[in-house]
């Protein structure tokens, strides 16, 4: 995220060979916000699902 802001404000060339546009910066902000607000909940949910699948396989002999 910091790299996106730095490239945008300095006018640097990105790895893809272009400049960071307003749309890219907006998408980066939204993605970062989503990750920060929902990342831990997603992590806990995936661990829960993994444990359900693992326990089900153990009980069914798979």
CA 60 to chain centre: 34
Contact (CB, 8 A) for 8 and 20: yes
Look at the pTM and tell me if it is higher than 0.85.
Answer: no
How many H-runs (helices) and E-runs (strands) does the chain carry? 2, 0
List, for residues 14-58, the tens digit of each pLDDT value: 788 888 888 888 898 899 899 999 999 999 999 999 988 888 777
């Amino acid at each position: 995220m910091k790299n996106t802001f730095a490239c945008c404000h300095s006018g640097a060339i990105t790895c893809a060979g272009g400049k960071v546009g307003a749309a890219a910066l907006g998408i980066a902000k939204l993605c970062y916000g989503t990750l920060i607000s929902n990342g831990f909940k997603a992590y806990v949910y995936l661990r829960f699902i993994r444990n359900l699948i693992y326990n089900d396989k153990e009980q069914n002999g798979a």
